[in-house]
Amino acid sequence: MLRHVVLFQFAPKTTEDDIGRIFAGFDALVKKLPGVRGMTSGRNTSPEGLDRGFRHGFVMDFDSARARDAYLAHPEHAAFAENVVFPALAAGRDSVIVFDCELEEDAARRQPPPGSTAR
């Protein structure tokens, strides 16, 4: 499984209603594509103060990197990003952070090694 994490720095002029419509647009798009396991989105609620202005984001889970690549290359995704998302951001493409990682399916493999302090 592949997890796709995207963080946004929206422009001050972009309202919460606009942001809600953007996330609804992503949600509608992923429902059309095979290989997408799910999507969640929201506003940062961390009290740490380390968001650096990236106050909204979403997480998508894909069956594979191939499914993620198909989503990224999909013409509707490209048009939505260029025409709706990037104009709503503080500095266009410079206001997006993307982080993808492969996740093991087997929960036992996600356990920290013996003697590790990781949780």
Give residue-wise pLDDT tens across range 11-56: 999 999 999 999 999 999 989 999 999 999 999 999 999 999 999 9
Q: What is the pLDDT of residue 108?
A: 43
Nearest by Cα to 23 from 51, 42, 44, 9 = 42
- The CATH architecture to which 2-102 belongs is 2-Layer Sandwich (3.30)
Domain spans, the chain: 2-102
Q: How crowded is the C-beta side of 39, counted as CA atoms within 13 Å?
A: 21
Specify the pTM: 0.84
- CB-based contacts of 7, cutoff 8 Å, min separation 6: 54, 56, 57, 96, 97, 98
Distance, CA of 94 to CA of 8 (rounded, Å): 9
User: Would the pLDDT of 118 be above 70?
Assistant: no
